[in-house]
């Protein structure tokens, strides 16, 4: 079996590369290109298997949804006194905001581990630049 990192041929029964010690069974993440918001609910181990490009797109989606939840929560909180809003609706808006905040922090944490930082803004320019670098490889 050939090592993905040093490209040295190893005995098929080996668990780690004989030359560099990298795990032979581990697969490198590949760009999926199709990422949707519900994937932020996946467990850490599953998210860790995503390509960095896909994680950036997912983080962008989660941040957008978190912003929507925040605006909804603030609208409900600032409703006029004559409008009756039950505490269940307000509680739901707050819990959604907290949930997306926690999910955002998980994805940001994985990106910090990989990139050393979390991008403040994920715009089309950043994604296109990264996409071009990936295609060159």
Is the same domain home to 15 and 75?
A: no
Residues in the chain, pLDDT under 70: 136-137
Token pair for 5: 């990192």
% of the chain with per-residue pLDDT over 70: 99
Indicate the number of domains in the chain.
2
Structure tokens at 100: 């997306």
* Helix (H/G/I), strand (E/B), else coil: 16: strand
Same structural domain for residues 43 and 20?
no
39-55 pLDDT tens trace = 999 999 899 989 999 99
Same domain, 41 and 16: no
Predicted confidence at residue 136, as pLDDT, reads 59
Q: Are residues 74 and 48 in the same domain?
A: yes
| Non-local CB neighbours of 72 within 8 Å, separated by 6+ positions | 93, 96
Q: Are residues 66 and 102 in the same domain?
A: yes
* Domain coverage including residue 131: 37-136
pLDDT tens column, 105-119: 999 999 999 999 999
């Amino acid at each position: 079996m050939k090592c993905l990192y040093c490209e040295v041929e190893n005995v098929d029964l080996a668990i780690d590369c004989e030359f560099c010690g990298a795990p032979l069974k581990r697969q490198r993440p590949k760009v999926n290109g199709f990422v949707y918001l519900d994937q932020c609910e996946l467990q850490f181990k599953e998210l860790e298997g995503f390509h960095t490009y896909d994680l950036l797109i997912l983080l962008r989606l989660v941040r957008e949804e978190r912003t929507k939840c925040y605006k909804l929560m603030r609208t409900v909180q600032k409703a006029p006194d004559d409008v009756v809003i039950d505490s269940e609706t307000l509680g739901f808006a707050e819990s959604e905001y907290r949930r997306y905040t926690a999910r955002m922090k998980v994805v940001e944490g994985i990106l910090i581990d990989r990139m050393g930082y979390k991008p403040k803004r994920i715009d089309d320019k950043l994604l296109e630049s990264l996409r071009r670098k990936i295609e060159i490889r």
